[in-house]
Amino acid sequence: MRFWRASADEPPGTGADAVFVGATRYSGPRAWLRLAPRWTRMVAQMRRLPGYRAHGVYWSPPWSLGTVGFFATREDLLTFARSGEHRELMTWVVGEDRRRATGGYIRLFRAVDPPGAAEDADGVEQDARRTIQEDADAHR
C-alpha cells in the first residue's frame, strides 16, 4: 500500500485520532476509468481539509479499490465524509442502476488510550479518557 502524507517528515497516521477504512468492488475496468477523475478531485479536496494526516490506497483483485484515511479528529473525518466531492463520488458509485459497483464497506475507528493511561494516582479513571468506537455502514 502506498501512503500520501500531510507531512513527509512523519510516518503515516502520526497525529491521527480517527481512521477511515473502506473499499468498493467495482464492476470492471470501465467503472475504474469513469471513477478516475472523480476520485482525483475527491482526494485533492481531502488533502486540503484541516485535520487531514495521511491516506493510503489498496487494490484487491479483480476490481476492488480500498482507502485508509487518517484524520486528526473524528469531526475532521466526518467533515470530509460530508464534503461535496466525497458525496458526489458516493452518489455516482451507488447510482440508480447500480452498474458501477457491486459491493463495498466503510469502517470508522477512533484511537484509544492504553489501559491505565488515563488513571490518576488513586487508580480512578479520568473523565477525559477516550474509548474505542466503531461505526459501520455498508453500501450495496
Q: What is the pLDDT of residue 117?
A: 61
pLDDT above 80 (res 98):
no
Q: What is the pLDDT of residue 140?
A: 39
* Section 102-128 average pLDDT: 68
pLDDT above 50 (res 137):
no
Residues 6 or more apart in contact with residue 85 via CB below 8 angstroms: 38, 41, 42, 44, 45, 46
Burial of 4 (0-12, 13-18, 19+ CB in 10 A): middle
pLDDT above 80 (res 139):
no
Do the Cβ atoms of 101 and 31 come closer than 8 Å? yes
Q: What is the pLDDT of residue 12?
A: 74
pLDDT above 60 (res 21):
yes
CA torsion sign, 37 to 84 to 28 to 63? positive
Rounded Cα distance between 108 and 67, Å, is 12
pLDDT above 80 (res 105):
yes
Instruction: Please name the fold of domain 14-112+130-137.
Output: Alpha-Beta Plaits (3.30.70)
pLDDT above 60 (res 130):
no
Q: What percent of the chain has a predicted confidence (pLDDT) above 90? A: 60
Q: What is the pLDDT of residues 55-85, one digit of tens each?
A: 999 999 999 999 999 999 999 999 999 998 9
**Model confidence, pTM:** 0.74
Q: What is the pLDDT of residue 134?
A: 37
